[in-house]
Amino acid sequence: RKRIGVMTSGGDAPGMNAAVRAVVRMSIAKGCEPYAIFEGYEGLVKGGDLIKKMNWEDVRGWQSEGGTLIGTARCKEFRERPGRLAAAKNLILSGIDALIICGGDGSLTGADIFRSEWKGLLDELVQNKELTQAQTDQFQHLNIVGLVGSIDNDMSSTDATIGAYSSLTRICQSVDFIDATAYSHSRAFVVEVMGRHCGWLALMAGVSTGADFVFLPEKPPANGWEDEMCDIIRKHRALGKRKTIVIVAEGAIDRELNPISASYVKDILVSKLRLDTRITTLGHVQRGGTACAYDRMLATLQGVEAVEAVLESTPDTPSPMIAINENKITRKPLMDAVKLTQAVAACIQNKDFDGAMSLRDAEFEE
Ligand code: ADP
């Protein structure tokens, strides 16, 4: 019976538990044995109790649990070959040669490196007499399937990552709460939201809440944006708006790549518009709580697809990433998606903002 490992890695995201539940139950339904790897790559490197066989009932009710119940961690050892050697040994000892990883681009890159080194790692383990040839014979190929779990929606080639809509929902609720007090006192609020180098959360929060101005990493404002922002807010106020909401992505930058901070934006609103202005940094409430319906559905459908992908994969097919495109669950070559994601980041680093935007647009025209 084929053994399939499932793990969560990198930053936690709502919906990861639904993904693990779907993988566990679909594996069982397909006659396989699911194993949970606890604490991300740490569990692979350390093995022992951190690799545990899962039963149908072990994941009962997991759709409605936030965070990740099998834990996640950043694991330095796995970045180095000796760590991956220990991980390979632990997998062989547990009889696992297929891994479904729910994480961000870092985690999925690590998984692909692990797969590409697999044969060499096994040879080394046999040479070092840590394993016998007979132990490794039936595990000559490591199967990797990626599920993208990230609140940032920062992976190319998929319309949504698991967790992004839950986070967006939380941000919208929070801005609604702020709206009430902003309106009452006729105040301005500068709201900082997460997203790392991706502006999706900030942009969609801006659209969803009717924010006055939004700062994104991919599309820095033109020089002199201070006046432009103030003009727009003045116009909104002249139309009778009693509240001002400015959303700043945590990775927001100007055209010289200098960070745009919430406190600087606040200073401008106070000094140029004389607005009573407060800063709200939403912080980790954006990660917490239960997954929204969309993420539960996405994680469940993608978890099912991930098990199908494991069972259909061959040593010659590149590792797939389970995506969603135009409302269809799809498979994309994992490393192509990672490379495209990194290409967008490289454009921004080179101040080629038009290039970054056209790479993003190209995805939707595929
Ligand atoms: P995310 O998956 O959310 O992008 P990280 O980039 O922090 O988060 O990656 C999570 C973990 O994945 C790291 O702590 C490390 O164990 C592993 N990892 C990331 N990048 C690599 C890499 N290039 N090689 C091997 N392992 C990696």
Q: What is the pLDDT of residues 275-284, one digit of tens each?
A: 999 999 999 9
pLDDT of residue 315: 87
CA 267 to ligand 1 center in whole angstroms: 37
pLDDT of residue 69 exceeding 70:
yes
For residue 114 and ligand 1, the question of a CB distance below 6 A is answered with no
CA 104 to ligand 1 center in whole angstroms: 8
Q: Which atom of ligand 1 is nearest to the CA of 108?
A: 2
Query: Closest Cα to atom 6, ligand 1: which residue?
Result: 106
Q: Which two tokens stand for residue 129?
A: 């007499």
For residue 74 and ligand 1, the question of a CB distance below 6 A is answered with yes
Residues 6+ apart with CB under 8 A from 35: 3, 4, 5, 6, 51, 52, 53, 54, 94, 96
Tokens 């394993």 locate to: 131
- Which of the residues are catalytic? 152
| % of the chain with per-residue pLDDT over 90 | 93
Q: For a substitution probing ligand 1, which of 12, 79, 142 has the most ligand atoms within 8 Å of its CB?
A: 79
CA 31 to ligand 1 center in whole angstroms: 31
Average pLDDT (205-229) is: 96
Q: Mean pLDDT for the chain?
A: 95
Q: Which atom of ligand 1 is nearest to the CA of 73?
A: 14
Which positions make up the binding site? 11, 74-75, 104-107, 150-152, 187, 194-196, 250, 278, 284-287
**Residue 53 confidence class, pLDDT cut points 50, 70, 90:** very high
Q: Position 115: which residue type?
A: R
The helix/strand/coil state of 299 is helix
Q: Position 246: which residue type?
A: V
The Cα–Cα gap between 193 and 166 comes to 13
The pTM of this model reads: 0.96
Query: Closest Cα to atom 8, ligand 1: which residue?
Result: 10
CA 212 to ligand 1 center in whole angstroms: 36
Alpha carbon of 314 to those of 115, 145, 311: distances in Å?
13, 12, 9
For residue 79 and ligand 1, the question of a CB distance below 6 A is answered with yes
Average pLDDT (97-120) is: 95
Burial of 281 (0-12, 13-18, 19+ CB in 10 A): middle
pLDDT of residue 182 exceeding 60:
yes
pLDDT of residue 145: 98
The per-residue pLDDT for range 32-45, each reduced to its tens digit, is 999 999 999 999 99
The per-residue pLDDT for range 282-310, each reduced to its tens digit, is 999 998 789 999 999 999 999 999 999 99
The per-residue pLDDT for range 218-234, each reduced to its tens digit, is 999 999 999 999 999 99
The per-residue pLDDT for range 321-363, each reduced to its tens digit, is 999 999 999 999 999 999 999 999 999 999 999 998 888 777 7
pLDDT of residue 362: 76
DSSP 8-state secondary structure symbol assigned to residue 24 = H
CB 277 within 8 A of CB 189: yes
| % of the chain with per-residue pLDDT over 70 | 99
Query: Closest Cα to atom 22, ligand 1: which residue?
Result: 110
pLDDT of residue 94: 97
For residue 329 and ligand 1, the question of a CB distance below 6 A is answered with no
For residue 14 and ligand 1, the question of a CB distance below 6 A is answered with no
pLDDT of residue 56 exceeding 80:
yes
Tokens 């590409």 locate to: 116
**Residue 366 confidence class, pLDDT cut points 50, 70, 90:** low
Q: Which atom of ligand 1 is nearest to the CA of 41?
A: 16
For residue 103 and ligand 1, the question of a CB distance below 6 A is answered with yes
CA 82 to ligand 1 center in whole angstroms: 15
Query: Closest Cα to atom 27, ligand 1: which residue?
Result: 110
DSSP 8-state secondary structure symbol assigned to residue 9 = -
The Cα–Cα gap between 77 and 121 comes to 15
pLDDT of residue 364 exceeding 70:
no
pLDDT of residue 365 exceeding 70:
no
For residue 8 and ligand 1, the question of a CB distance below 6 A is answered with no
Q: Which two tokens stand for residue 147?
A: 């599920």
Q: Tell me phi and psi for residue 253, to 5 degrees.
A: -140, 165
pLDDT of residue 255 exceeding 60:
yes
pLDDT of residue 111 exceeding 60:
yes
Residues 6+ apart with CB under 8 A from 29: none
The Cα–Cα gap between 247 and 112 comes to 36
Which positions make up the binding site for ATP? 11, 74-75, 104-107
- Comparing C-alpha atoms, which of 358, 298, 353 is closest to residue 14? 298
CA 79 to ligand 1 center in whole angstroms: 7
Residue length of the chain: 366
